[in-house]
Structure 1
Amino acid sequence: MSELRSRWSVLADRIDSGTPADRDRAVDALRAFAILGVVLGHWLVTALTTADGGLGTTSPLAHLPWLAPVSWVFQTLAVFFLVGGHVAARGHASARERGVPYGVWVGQRLSRLFRPVAAVLALWAVAAAGMLLGGAEPDTVRTLLKLVLSPLWFLLVFAVLTAATPLVARLAPQWPLAVVAGVDLWRFGFGGPEWIGWVNVAAGWLVPYTLGAAWSRGRFAGRTAAALLLGGGAAATAGLVLWGGYPASMVGVPGAPISNLNPPTLAAVAFGLAQCGLALLLRGPLERAMRRPRAWAKVALMNLSAMTIFLWHQTAMMAVTALGLLAPVDLPGLHTVPDSPWWIAARLLWLPVFAAALGVCWAAFRTYEQAGRPERGKSPRTAPRTSTGSGAPGRAPRAAEEVTAHA
């Protein structure tokens, strides 16, 4: 154990020393926390049960409404779009200054998003075909595919906003916010068609994205504006939930007549404003925390595999659930209906197992995300590999450079 700690300490020091001095480590920390929030949220509020003979999905939020505050903690997509808008706007401005054509810049950014997606789609196409040929219930296969593919919707939205960065980078967040409010008023106040709500998929996430672009231009240098976002967003969310008829849960709940997330509602966008305000207020503490080599190394390495973690976390959970079916009885917290506090306690015990399965997926598929990221200024074939002196490969300087390239 002491040898492992020593190796990790050396690795962390190398990553820390190999990170450029102008690296905004708080941005990477916010991105890591946003991804972790989504992963843990899905693991906690998604349940695969065998109640109907096959695998079906439900949620503890449908059976235990008092758990709604859990969704406030783990629904962190607004922070991801905030960071995405900040990084894309800054990156596009830098590329333009260096004379990099728009097509080259956007192609590089989108390839980082969709290269690892191809591996997920290919594996699940084969797996779905195999399950159907093996006699699996079509409804079960459909349930599994929905769990895998449904998180990909946000990548499409994120890709569109990234491609549109030159057009939307200077857009005031008030405009897409007004669109969201108008759509909800038409939809809920005047009985408009349900399909009009899907306009908010673009408009809703454009709000934190444009906030991130404004951040890149120095609009939130002080704390006052961020505090107003936090306070105003929290107050608006509370008002909409208490008196506007919006659900308290910030994620979809099976069987609920209204979802705050699919498509995004004004309540979800207001909640996202509060999250963005809190994230901006935490920049200083995060910057100080990230000066500690061990803390920074964890964040830096996670950012190298953020897409892999996001894309495969549902597969990891489903793999554990499927293997659990080999047990002679339904396993608590895994196959049972999430209708009691005992289920919550049991599910918490399964989280390390899900994490271990995700580690296997990460080891198998991380190369699809990290492919094509040579060390800056050096060919991948000629980049040196040093020894840490304790038996661990000295790949940390390259890892730090890859983190920089990723942003």
Structure 2
Amino acid sequence: MPEQTAHVRRTRPRAPRPPAFSPTTPAATPASGVPGRTRSPLTPATALRALRRAARRVDAATPASRDRALDALRAFAILGVVLGHWLVTALVARDGGLHTASPLQHMPWLAPVSWLFQTLAVFFLVGGQVATHSLASARARGDSYASWLRARLARLLRPVAALLGLWSVTTVTLLLTGAPLSTVHTLLKLALSPLWFLLVFAGLTAVTPLVARLNPLWPFAVVLHVDVLRFGLHLGPSWLGWVNLAAGWLVPYALGAAWARGELRSRRSAFVLLLGGTAATALLITCAGYPASMVGVPGAATSNLNPPTLAAVTFGLAQCGLALLLRDRLRRAMARPLAWAAIAFVNLSAMTIFLWHQTAMMATTAMGLLAGRLPGLHTSPDSVAWVASRLVWLPVFLSVLALCWAAFRHHEQGPARPRHRSSQVIRRHVPPARPSRHA
């Protein structure tokens, strides 16, 4: 061959060259793990190809037995809550401080927005299904309930420490610098508001052995009786409504357990939940005086979410029915590597995204004060112009949330793997590549 001939004809020794495939030589770093293939310049086309290769690796690493529809529903539920908070929560600069407001106060006709983004019932539905399956698998392996519960709660609660640590320092700093108490209270309440959800979810996870055999009608009956006493007969102590904090979210969690038992596999049961929940919610709003908004509105006499009301529970039943109807379509959609890789990424960082999304919004709002009162960020949410301005700020919130994710994701996912060490999951499920002739 010409290359070999040229090599034989060399008579003078030349200076040694660095190894062609040395990992310390930037120009020869493999672009796709194949020796001898140099890294191509970064362009949109090469970035897209790299993204598709990574998506195919994630797709191939996923066991065939995994129900991807569950992960898709969980990701949509988390993202729905995040977008809902960013759209209906405003921090208004007034009287030298920041105060919470909502566009739903001034524009009640926007209440249907809360129907789209109040998706917690779907998260509890998936949580009940997954926890029931996980407990059954642990028992089949001979694991104890205590070890199963520790493993379930570790990743759920580990990211909380970072949030509490940062906001403890932030609160002390704000107080020492003379920030108004009302501003500190507003910021701290928003930052820590996601913790109530984690506490309820952790409690329901702990009682999964009981919920695995529970009929969802029992917690539904508790919610019904509590609301009859509160709003129908005006009886009972002031704290009675907080019974629904556990009973209300136990309804979709128990539905998830019933799903795991195989009781909600028919489309008929899904249609019953969807149509029955929708009809009951419409009657409660139009005839029984329940608020139309499915999230809390500052200044409102009654909130459907704090604590959950019967209307919030029936609305959650409709959402669960819709989620069950979409199972097959989601499975087909998740067969596409790019779509599945995006869903897998959200699930790997679900708690980090959920815990830090309010902090990302508040950090953007605080930094924006340096430029004055900005529309959609510090102004009163009382017009359609505010809504349009807030939509423009969503990419900024997302960018700040990405920074929070980069800084705190290891609290949820554990320490990062060494740079040249491949994923254990990928090594386990992807067949080894053919050895290259260059190697």
Partner of 2:23: none
Percent identical pairs in the alignment equals 66
Contact 1:300–1:400 (8 Å) recurs in 2: no
Residue 320 (str. 1) matches residue 364 (str. 2): yes
Pick one of 383, 397, 401 that aligns with 2:426. 397
Seen in structure 2, the aligned counterparts of structure 1 residues 293 and 94 have a Cα distance that, compared at 3 Å, is same
Letter in 2 for 1:361: C
Q: Quick check: 1:96 aligned with 2:142?
A: no
In structure 2, what is the equivalent of residue 235 of structure 1? 279
Please tell me the root mean square deviation across aligned C-alpha atoms, in Å: 1.7
Superposition pairs of residues 252-263 of structure 1, within 5 angstroms: 252-263=296-307
The alignment partner of 2:193 has SS state of helix
**Aligned amino acid, residue 61 of structure 2:** G
Q: 2:260 aligns with which of 207, 211, 216?
A: 216
Given that residues 305 and 366 in structure 1 are in contact (C-alpha distance below 8 angstroms), is that contact kept between their aligned partners in structure 2?
yes
Using the TM superposition, give the Cα deviation of residue 395 of structure 1 relative to its aligned residue in structure 2, in angstroms. 8.5
Name the count of aligned residue pairs. 386
Residue type at the aligned position of 2:299: G
- Residue 300 of structure 1 aligns to which amino acid in structure 2? A
- Label 1:398 to 1:103 Cα distance change in 2 as closer, same or farther (>3 A): farther
Q: Which residue of 2 aligns with 1:310?
A: 354
Seen in structure 2, the aligned counterparts of structure 1 residues 294 and 365 have a Cα distance that, compared at 3 Å, is same
Bigger RCO (CA 8 Å, 6+ sep) = 1
SS state at 2:299 partner: coil
Give the corresponding residue for 1:364: 407
CA distance in 1, matches of 2:345, 2:90: 29
Distance 1:349 1:395 in 2: 40
Distance (Å, rounded) in 1 between the aligned partners of 2:317 and 2:264: 14
Q: 1:258-305: per-residue Cα shift (whole Å, max 9, x none)?
A: 000000000000000000000000000000000000000000011000
- Cα distance in 2, alignment partners of residues 151 and 240 from structure 1: 27
1:325 is paired with a residue whose SS is helix
Corresponding residue of 1:20: 63
CA displacement at 1:397 relative to structure 2: 2.4
Give the TM-score, by structure 2 length. Answer: 0.86
Query: Secondary structure of the equivalent of 1:219?
Result: coil
- Does 1:294 find its partner at 2:338? yes
- Give, as a single letter, the amino acid of the residue that structure 1 aligns with 2:67: D
Contact 1:15–1:400 under 8 Å retained in 2? no
Shift of 1:34: 0.2
Instruction: Tell me which amino acid in the other structure corresponds to 2:192.
Output: L
Tell me what 2:381 maps to: 338
- Conserved 8 A contact 1:226-1:278: yes
* 1-structure distance, mates of 2:184, 2:342: 36
Q: Given the alignment of the two structures, is residue 385 of structure 1 paired with residue 421 of structure 2, yes or no? A: yes
Amino acid at match of 1:37: G
Deviation at 1:399, TM superposition (A): 12
Shift of 1:307: 0.3
1:5-404 correspondence runs (5 A): 5-192=48-235, 193-327=237-371, 329-371=372-414, 385-386=421-422, 397=426
Is the CA contact 1:85–1:213 (under 8 Å) kept in the aligned structure 2?
yes
User: Per-residue displacement from partner, 1:193-234 (whole Å, max 9, x unpaired)?
Assistant: 331000000000000000000111111211000010000000
Deviations 1:369-405 (A, max 9, x none): 00179xxxxxx78x9735xxxxxxx79827999xxxx
For residue 292 of structure 2, give the secondary structure of its aligned residue in structure 1. Answer: coil
* SS of equivalent residue, structure 2 residue 91: strand
Which 5+ residue runs of structure 1 have no aligned equivalent?
Answer: 374-379, 387-393, 402-407
* Cα distance in 2, alignment partners of residues 206 and 298 from structure 1: 29
Alpha-carbon distance in structure 2 between the residues aligned to 1:399 and 1:265 = 47
Paired with 1:140 and 1:283, the residues of 2 have a C-alpha distance of: 44
The one-letter code of the counterpart of 1:186 is: L
* Structure 2 CA distance for aligned equivalents of residues 277 and 339 of structure 1: 34
Aligned partners of 2:139 and 2:87: how far apart in 1?
A: 43
TM-score where L is the length of structure 1: 0.92
User: For residues 200 and 6 of structure 1, do their structure 2 counterparts lie closer, same or farther at Cα, with a shift above 3 Å needed?
Assistant: same
- CA pair 400-34 structure 1, distance change in 2 beyond 3 A: farther
Amino acid at match of 1:31: R
Give distance in 2, aligned partners of 1:97 and 1:345: 54
Instruction: Return 5+ residue gaps in structure 2 as ranges.
Output: 1-43, 431-439
Runs of 4+ in structure 1 off by over 6 angstroms are 398-401
Distance 2:261 2:415 in 1: 30
